[in-house]
Chains A and B, each alone.
Chain A
Amino acid sequence: EPEVTQTPSHQVTQMGQEVILRCVPISNHLYFYWYRQILGQKVEFLVSFYNNEISEKSEIFDDQFSVERPDGSNFTLKIRSTKLEDSAMYFCASSQGSTGNSPLHFGNGTRLTVT
Chain B
Amino acid sequence: SQQGEEDPQALSIQEGENATMNCSYKTSINNLQWYRQNSGRGLVHLILIRSNEREKHSGRLRVTLDTSKKSSSLLITASRAADTASYFCATGNTGNQFYFGTGTSLTVIP
Contact = CB atoms under 8 A, between A and B. Distances in A.
Interface string A30-46: 01010100000111110
Interface stretch (A14-22, A70-78, A80-88, A106-114): A106-114
Nearest to A56: B97
Contacts of B68: none
Contacts of A106: 35, 42-44
Interface residues of A, number: 28
Interface in B61-110: 88, 90, 92-103
Contacts, number: 73
B102 to A, nearest CB: 4
Contact of B30 (A31, A56, A101, A108): A101
B31 interface: yes
A100 B92 contact: yes
Contacts of B102: 41-42
A50 B96 CA distance: 9
B41 interface: yes
A56 B41 contact: no
A87 to B, nearest CB: 15
A104 to B, nearest CB: 6
B45 interface: yes
A98 B41 contact: no
Contacts of A99: 30, 92-93, 95-98
Interface of B: 3, 30-31, 33, 35, 37, 40-45, 48, 88, 90, 92-103
Interface of A: 4, 31, 33, 35, 41-45, 48, 50, 55-56, 58, 89, 91, 93, 98-101, 103-109
